[in-house]
Amino acid sequence: MITSSRRTRGEVIFDVCNTIFMLLICFVTLYPIWYVLVNAFNEGTDAMRGGIYWWPRMFSLESFGAVFQSEGIMQAMWITVAKTVIGTFIHVLFTAMVAYALSRRDLIGGKLYIWIGTITLFFSGGLIPTFLLMKDLQLLDNFMVYIIPAMFSFFDLIIFMTFFREIPDGLEEAARIDGANDWSIFFRVVLPVSMPVVATIGLFHGVYQWNDYFTGMIYMNDTSLQPIQTYLYRVVAESSSNQMLAAVPGGINRSVTSQSIKLATMVVTTIPIVFVYPFLQKYFVKGMMIGSIKG
């Protein structure tokens, strides 16, 4: 009885410690986001005094007004939305098509293609050769530089291929008996039953497209084609945001500072992609379980 009592007490202590540890991890993870939100919604000049940790001391939306009244940031936002939507759609479709072909065990040379693709996971051409390639393809200062190089990912192909191989062969056989060809089977049978993996890859690539600042920084000299993350990078990298503040109609607002502009821009660029996740969560959880259970 004593041993059982001690074991139970030890389990309780372990559960309490585990709960405290998880709460600490959540706090460390979420508080920086909360800190940015609090200071973004506080008046800029007042925020410079410091001491704002849990709630805005002087609530103000003027920094967000300055952000949305800036023509440059709205243009960058539209570029980001366009490249995220178009790039994600094309990436998922193209990668799924290649994965479906490689998932067929009767494909001639299928193993060779997989070995060749696996090599690309460990080796790349490097930045300078890639830049020269984009230049030769006339993709510099071209919107398609966001789309074409990101059309295919072999890592995502492996996830697609693993899921496709778990689809019962009877579905395809029944479709072929009804007279369906490979294209009809792919679009009418395979893709509809593959929504978990489609949503998972779509979320992965959508977040990548939304957060990608490097492509716009390297391949875009035309500021009108740079995405919001590259715009944010320029704002954060600069020591001051005088050009941005000057773009606000009516002149520079004394309650808006360069720091408040940076924080407000961070919030504006982060919130949209965060709101997408709850709608895809049920598919995302299923997609993450692909290949975890055999038999």
Query: What's the full length of the chain, in residues?
Result: 295
Given pLDDT bands bounded at 50, 70 and 90, which one contains residue 281?
Answer: low
Q: What pLDDT, on the 0 to 100 scale, is given for residue 116?
A: 86
For 168, other C-beta atoms within 10 Å of its C-beta total 9
Tell me the pLDDT band of 93, cut-offs 50, 70 and 90: very high
Query: What tens digit of pLDDT does each residue of 172-217 get?
Result: 788 888 787 888 888 888 888 888 888 888 888 888 898 888 888 8
Confidence category of residue 86, pLDDT binned at 50, 70, 90? very high
Identify the pLDDT of residue 282: 62
| Gap between the terminal Cα atoms of the chain | 42
pLDDT digits 0-9 by tens, 107-158: 888 788 888 888 888 887 788 888 898 888 888 888 999 999 989 888 889 8
User: 252 CB contacts (<8 Å, ≥6 apart)?
Assistant: 245, 246
Given a contact cutoff of 8 angstroms between Cβ atoms, the answer to whether 57 and 269 are in contact is no
Give the pair of three-digit tokens for residue 261: 């502009």
Question: How large a percentage of the chain has pLDDT more than 90?
Answer: 6
